[in-house]
């Protein structure tokens, strides 16, 4: 582990950069309309934040994975979307060095530090998604997440398979999770599941079509609408028939 002084200096540098950027109204954007949860989501623009993440990762990439993940956790303690984005960006950059023990860290982040669909999807389609792609033996644990009382954990259980589906992996497991989540009443979980199925349909159109046709009486309508967006008009029509 690096010295406390080095860690403190890196974090202070990031905090200072973010504070300086926030002073300029041109760097700020209101993302509230994308969330529709009654809360205000005003923050530094995502492209600018990613530049801060990339620039500062050059200062820490020589460190051990353990230390970088420690820095990520410290950033997450700020409970702010800007710092979440930096932490998740850094974690994804470490994908070549993932080990099985890292699941506990990423799962902990999902359960403790996620409060919008945006940061849920950022973590789950990158760091957690790549982890599952590398270590599919953890998919049974992902299925357990579908039972969580936390809506973001349940959404994440579907979204984190998108990374693998885009690479042609784990369709059967994804459809199983979709079947489990068909009973979920949360709108944002339903949308996340629909997004997962839509991504699956790009490579497995026939399989996803058949899955929806067989289960369309139990799959929430919004999940169906999301899942068929990339399908040909004829298939969409067949699914939407009464």
Tell me the C-alpha distance between 7 and 85, whole Å. Answer: 19
For the whole model, what pTM was predicted?
0.92
Give the pLDDT confidence of 135-165 residue by residue, as tens digits.
999 999 999 999 999 999 999 999 999 999 9
Q: Would the pLDDT of 111 be above 90?
A: yes
Mean pLDDT of 37-54: 89
Q: Would the pLDDT of 170 be above 70?
A: yes
Q: Would the pLDDT of 1 be above 50?
A: no
Q: Which of 34-43, 67-76, 228-237 has the lowest mean pLDDT?
A: 34-43
Mean pLDDT for the chain?
94
Mind spelling out the 3-state secondary structure of the chain? CCCHHHHHHHHHHHHHHHHHHHCCHHHEEECHHHCCCCCCCEEECHHHHHHHHHHHHHHHCCCCHHHHHHHHHHHHCCCCHHHHHHHHHHHHHCHHHCCCCHHHHHHHHHHHCCCCHHHHHHHHHCHHHHHHHHCHHHHHHHHHHCCCCCHHHHHHHHHCCHHHHCCCCCHHHHHHHHHHHCCCCCHHHHHHHHHHHHHHHCCCHHHHHHHHHHHCCCCCHHHHHHHCCCCCHHHHHHHHCC
Q: Would the pLDDT of 2 be above 70?
A: no
- Which residues have a Cβ under 8 Å from the Cβ of 138 and sit 6 or more positions away? 100, 103, 131, 132
When pLDDT is cut at 50, 70 and 90, the band that residue 242 belongs to is low
Kindly state the percentage of the chain with pLDDT values over 90: 88
- Which residues have a Cβ under 8 Å from the Cβ of 23 and sit 6 or more positions away? none
Q: Would the pLDDT of 26 be above 90?
A: yes
pLDDT at 3 (0 to 100): 55
């Amino acid at each position: 582990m690096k010295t406390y002084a080095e860690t403190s200096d890196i974090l202070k540098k990031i905090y200072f950069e973010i504070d300086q950027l926030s002073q300029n109204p041109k760097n700020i954007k209101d993302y509230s309309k994308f969330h529709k949860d009654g809360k205000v989501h005003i923050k530094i623009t995502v492209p600018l934040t990613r530049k801060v993440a990339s620039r500062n990762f050059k200062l820490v990439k020589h460190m051990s994975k353990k230390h970088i993940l420690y820095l990520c956790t410290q950033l997450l303690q700020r409970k702010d979307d800007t710092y979440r984005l930096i932490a998740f960006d850094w974690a994804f950059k470490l994908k070549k060095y993932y080990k099985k023990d890292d699941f506990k860290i990423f799962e902990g982040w999902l359960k403790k530090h996620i409060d919008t669909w945006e940061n849920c999807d950022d973590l789950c389609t990158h760091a957690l998604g790549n982890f599952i792609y590398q270590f599919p033996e953890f998919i049974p644990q992902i299925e357990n997440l579908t039972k969580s009382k936390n809506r973001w954990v349940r959404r994440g259980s579907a979204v984190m398979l998108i990374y693998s589906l885009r690479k042609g992996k784990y369709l059967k497991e994804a459809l199983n999770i979709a079947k489990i989540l068909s009973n979920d009443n949360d709108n944002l979980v339903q949308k996340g599941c629909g997004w997962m199925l839509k991504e699956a349909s790009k490579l497995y159109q026939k399989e996803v079509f058949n899955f929806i046709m067989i289960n369309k009486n139990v799959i929430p309508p919004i999940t169906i609408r999301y899942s068929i967006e990339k399908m040909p008009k004829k298939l969409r029509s067949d699914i939407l028939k009464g």
